[in-house]
Amino acid sequence: MPGENCMDRLFHWIRQTYAAKAPAQRHLTPDRAQGIRLFGHLLGVTSSVVVVAVAYLHAADGRMPLGVAHQFAVLVALTAAAFTLSFATGFNRRFTDPGLTVAQMATSGAVIGYLVWAAPDMRPFVPPFYMLVLAFGAFRLKTHQQLAISAYFVLTYALPAAAAGAAPVQAWAVPALTLALLLLGMSLVGGYVNNIRSRLRSTNAELGRALQKIERIATYDDLTGLYNRRVIHETATREQKRADRSGASLCVAMLDVDHFKRFNDQYGHVVGDQVLRMLSRILQSTLRDTEHVGRYGGEEFLIVLPDTTAQLATMPVERLRAAVASARIEGLPPEVRVTVSVGIAQYRRGEGIVATIGRADAALYEAKRQGRNRAVCREP
């Protein structure tokens, strides 16, 4: 853009880059979060279907009775349906962990433990099932949680085998020890990755807060909380283009505090700042939502009045001027009142918004020449 400086380009680039990637994470709605949990659960269900398919493959190869495979499939289906219903109805939101990660993993471990108990010949082939379940929560749980789940998995493997009277002991003890070592390694790696993800989330949150602060600095005046000069000028330009397209009327008003230097000189800059804050509050409360105002510089403010003719613009401006004149300012003697002068100009198609603002500024100086505390409309 013409006249755009390096800082403007930086702010624009940050807004475009971050807004394209971050809103889904910064402003995650409850429904969207629930949808993400349900999606993660359905991925786990897909993994369960794969495990059931592998069980049937081994049953076809004669390593376990087909009836056991059927029973295993029914258990998997029942647990999957129970958790799916919990997510679908929102029941999961009652718990500290709405994702029910530990609960799903613990239930899966128990179901796999049934397979260890009912199909002795399958025991050497079961450890990968546990590892697949641990992978489900590897990036969601902390290291100590994954270690606890791993210990639970080893128990669900070893205890059913021991209860079934497996002999010799090494037939299940060696696979159990192997499973324990593999799960230990996966837990350590998963915990490390989870820690990195936690730090990234924290960093992203800090980046989001920093971006919001930068956006506010780039958009609003720090003292008054109104739009700064750049943004109110962009707003006026946007309204000018809309007026050109639709044929609607548009007015701008330039407002200036009368004798503002006197307040600073006689009562101090703190009181001067109080005057500007008071004025910004009155501007925000008096103008309509469709109207825009920004601090143009010093004690000058630019007001953009869409769908408004010069004749209609005098009404909100006069209402604003009267509200300022009757306001009390902390730090000023009761008899001292703040007044403003306002210049109004209606946009003429083809002249450009800069020229319209210039005519409003000329009308402002005419109001001051006429004695201040008044509004003047600069129209032929």
Active site residues: 299
Bridge pairing between strands 300-306 and 250-257: antiparallel
Q: How far is CA 146 from the centre of its chain?
A: 30
d(CA 208, CA 14): 11
Helix 66-89 crosses helix 101-118 at what angle (to 10 degrees)? 170
d(CA 40, CA 229): 47
- Strands, sheet with 292-297, edge to edge from the N-terminal-most edge strand: 292-297, 300-306, 250-257, 340-346, 375-377
- CB-count exposure of residue 248 (10 Å: 0-12, 13-18, 19+): middle
* Helix segments in the chain, DSSP class H: 6-21, 23-26, 30-60, 66-89, 101-118, 127-137, 143-163, 170-219, 229-246, 260-267, 269-286, 310-325, 353-369
Position 372, amino acid: R
Bridge pairing between strands 340-346 and 250-257: antiparallel
d(CA 202, CA 251): 46
Instruction: Say if residues 368 and 341 touch (Cβ distance below 8 Å).
Output: yes
- Extract the tokens encoding 301: 């403010």
Sign of CA dihedral 27, 31, 36, 37: positive
Bridge pairing between strands 340-346 and 375-377: parallel
E strand or H helix that includes residue 343: strand 340-346
